[in-house]
Each structure stands twice: as C-alpha cells, then as structure tokens.
Amino acid sequence: MIRSVVGREIVAGHERVTIDVGTGDGRAVLALAAREPMALLIGLDANAASMAESSRRAARAARNGALGNALFVVASAADLPAELRGIASLVTVRFPWGSLLRGCLGADTWVAAGLVSLIARGGSLELLLAPAHRDNLLGVPAEPDEVVAVATATFGGAGLVLLEAREATTGEVLASGSSWARRLLGRTGRTGWACRASAERRPVLIRFRSP
Ligand SMILES: C[S@@+](CC[C@H](N)C(=O)[O-])C[C@H]1O[C@@H](n2cnc3c(N)ncnc32)[C@H](O)[C@@H]1O
C-alpha cells in the first residue's frame, strides 16, 4: 500500500523524521527503518511503481510488528503534500535525476524551495549528487566544483546554512544505501568497490542545516 498523504498524527509518535526525496526503489528507507525503530522514515518519489515492492514489504512487516516506521508517499518534489511541511529533521536526496536533479542545481527554483519546506527548524538537508554530461542536463552543471557551487548557491539562497561540500567517499556512497549508486559503482573483485564511471561521474556530498 502506498500512502499518498501523511497525517501529523502518524508523525507524532516518533523521535525524528527522515524524508528521502526521489527514493526510487525505497530500499534505503527500509534499511534505515530497521536500524532506527524510533524514527519515522518516509520515502517519496514521483514514480509509484518504483516504490511498490518496498511499500508492500513495509506493510507486510508492519502486520508482524516490524517496519511500522516506514512510509512511502507518491508526490513530485515540485508539488509536495502540505502535510509534510516542516516535519523532517533530515531530508536526503540521493543520486537524483530529471527535474529533481535540475532543481537541486538551480533550475526550477520551486523544487529547491519545496525541499527546504520539508525541513524542521534546526534540521538538515543532505545531497548526494553525481550528474554526468551525458545525462542531458539542459544547462545545469556536471563538474563537481560547479555542482557544489550551484547547489550551495541554490540552497543558500533558500535560507539554508552550508555545513560541508566535497567529493563523497566510496564508503559514504555505499553507506547511503542507494540502489542507484550500486549500479553506477562496480564491484571489482578483491579490490572492493570502485567507481566504474569515475572519470565522468564523481559523487559530491553537500550538507546544509536549517537555521
Ligand atoms: C536515479 S533514481 C535514484 C533513486 C534512489 N535515490 C537511489 O539512490 O537508489 C532518481 C529518482 O528520482 C525520482 N525523481 C526525479 N524527479 C523527481 C521529482 N521531481 N519528484 C520526485 N521524485 C523525482 C525518480 O522517479 C527516480 O526514482
């Protein structure tokens, strides 16, 4: 079951709320929900089909008393449900594409404003971005330095305070639980994980705090 609206009464019983915007298959949300039973984990994506399996797993597990703290919401970052406004101690955006990526990089300013609107006072926004020139970015940058500069200006302009911005380590990329990153990164035998497309796709980690 995918819930399209989250009421504040659902949020109330939890110590903190994390919203993963552009969650894709939602596996990172399920993993975090299992690790953090006192937190509410919300996966949000414009594409319902991508989250369907994780949503079904969460519903099945909840009937058995587990993963009752994971929810999936179908919405576009450009038009977020009002019920989510200001509830998240952490908003994550991991390896976005399309309008979500472009919104993180200064295009379509209402996307960045929407992401910022989710964050509770004192909460954080964490971006893992890895655009490449071949992604058909329609004018937004792909070089890490430019990505950092543009994302910093975008969210700084929307009122957030920059905490850090740098290239992400492979460990950080893996720890994010991103399924998409696992497609971009290749397992190279005994040497562990390495970025197959490192020359064209270097992930950056950018963290902000809401004042
Ligand atoms: C490359 S996938 C990454 C999925 C997941 N974060 C991961 O790392 O495995 C990008 C996701 O962003 C979602 N997306 C793109 N634009 C969006 C928007 N405007 N609002 C919500 N989701 C969006 C897509 O539907 C897709 O699931």
Lowest mean pLDDT among 118-132, 171-185, 188-202: 188-202
Q: Which residue has the higher pLDDT, 189 or 42?
A: 42
Atom of ligand 1 nearest to the CA of 176: 8
Q: What residues does each domain of the chain span?
A: 8-209
Class of domain 8-209: alpha beta
Question: Among residues of the chain, what percentage have pLDDT more than 90?
Answer: 67
Expressed in angstroms and rounded, the spacing between residue 24 Cα and the centre of ligand 1 is 5
8 Å CB contact between 140 and 107: yes
8 Å CB contact between 181 and 205: no
8 Å CB contact between 45 and 22: yes
Q: Which residues contact 181 (CB under 8 A, 6 or more apart)?
A: 94, 95, 128, 130, 173, 174, 203
Q: Which two tokens stand for residue 83?
A: 């019920």
Ligand 1 near 115 CB (within 6 A): no
Lowest mean pLDDT among 9-23, 67-81, 182-196: 182-196
Ligand 1 near 78 CB (within 6 A): yes
Q: Which two tokens stand for residue 149?
A: 């500069």
Task: Please say if the pLDDT value at position 27 is more than 50.
Answer: yes
End-to-end CA distance of the chain: 35
Cα dihedral sign, 152-153-157-158: negative
This prediction has a pTM of: 0.92
Q: How much is the mean pLDDT over the chain?
A: 87
Element counts in the chain: helices (H) and strands (E): 8, 9
State residue 195's pLDDT score.
46
Ligand 1 near 45 CB (within 6 A): yes
47, 134, 201: which to mutate for ligand 1, most atoms within 8 A of CB?
Answer: 47
pLDDT band at 170 (very low <50, low <70, confident <90, very high): confident
Q: H or E element: which one contains 202?
A: none
100, 102, 134, 178: which to mutate for ligand 1, most atoms within 8 A of CB?
Answer: 100
Quick one: the chain helix, strand, coil %, rounded to 5? 40, 25, 35
Residue-wise pLDDT for 39-53, tens only, equals: 999 999 999 999 999
Backbone angles phi and psi of 146, in degrees to 5: -70, -35
Expressed in angstroms and rounded, the spacing between residue 153 Cα and the centre of ligand 1 is 22
Q: Are strands 88-94 and 185-187 parallel, antiparallel or unpaired?
A: unpaired
What is the residue with the minimal CA distance to atom 8 of ligand 1? 178
pLDDT band at 179 (very low <50, low <70, confident <90, very high): very high
